[in-house]
Amino acid sequence: MKLVIGNQKSYLEKKEIDSFKQVIKDVNKDNFILCPSSIYLNEFSDLGLLLGCQNVSKYDKGATTGELSCEQIKSIGVNFCIVGHSERRQLFNETIEDTKLKVSKLLENCMTPILCVGETKEERDNLKTREIVLNEIEGALDGLNEELLNNIIIAYEPIWSIGTGVIPSNPEIEEITKAIKEFLYKKYNCNNKVLYGGSVSCKNIDELNLIDIVDGYLIGGASTKANELIEIIKKCE
Ligand code: PEP
């Protein structure tokens, strides 16, 4: 069974969330985590789904207008949170130090960070994928309490693949996933789940599922379409 995490970004409006919920309500809850816009988290609380946020404040709860603190999201039953997504890094100037603070706060609050890492097209073309990805992981995790690091999920998301419909080949995904797992094991003695993310859809899920070493998928665009999402989840059971 592979884990499916849906990152709905800021696509859906309230009416669309209502119809999404109607379709998704009977989904198998064992291998699925939904990360809707935070304003809709409570809409899903009666479905018994595992829920995640798409971002969290690097600050403690308090005088931080417009932020959502770890303490707050934990208090409404959210146990997962995406951190370091490339859209946060590129559009909101999130640094690796910011990401580390967020990972640390989530772990302290017994939540599971979903740490996104991945290279740009230029870095890929310059054969830097492995170096970039492992540096990002090290930058986000070094110095944190090593006993807690097993609780992190890593999402390998090549930036050039997000929302483009273009994905790496299976051997490429396999190679980098293996490198990530080996790095985490050697450096921190951890056996983290490693997911693939970037343009996963109904069209490519059968092919992607052939990669045994990948533990699941972080899905953006396709997670906003309830029927497509359900089909993907079923194929991952
Ligand atoms: C993402 O943004 O995490 C993502 C994987 O997006 P998409 O599936 O739309 O490429």
Mean pLDDT, the chain, whole residue set: 97
**Is residue 29 scored above 90 in pLDDT?**
no
27 to each of 4, 23, 237, how far by Cα in Å?
12, 8, 11
Phi-psi group of 236: left, alpha or beta (phi > 0 → left; psi -120 to 50 → alpha; rest → beta): alpha
CA distance 209 to 229: 15
Share of the chain above pLDDT 70, in %: 100
**Is residue 28 scored above 90 in pLDDT?**
no
Q: Mutation test of ligand 1: which of 10, 55, 82, 218 has the most ligand atoms closer than 8 Å to its C-beta?
A: 218
Domains in the chain, CATH or no CATH each:
3-8+53-58+67-235 (3.20.20.70)
Torsion angle of the four alpha carbons 43, 73, 163, 150, in this order, in degrees rounded to the nearest 10 = -130
**Is residue 219 scored above 90 in pLDDT?**
yes
Q: What's the average model confidence in pLDDT over 209-235? A: 97
Name 218's bridge partners. 5, 197
**Is residue 65 scored above 90 in pLDDT?**
yes
Q: Name the E strands within the chain.
A: 3-7, 32-35, 50-53, 80-83, 112-117, 153-156, 194-197, 216-219
Angle between helices 129-141 and 96-108 (to 10 degrees): 50
Give me 74's structure tokens.
């934990």
Share of the chain above pLDDT 90, in %: 96
- Ligand 1 atom closest to Cα of residue 82: 3
- Ligand 1 atom closest to Cα of residue 221: 9
Q: What's the average model confidence in pLDDT over 151-167? A: 97
Q: Which has more confidence, 146 or 63?
A: 63
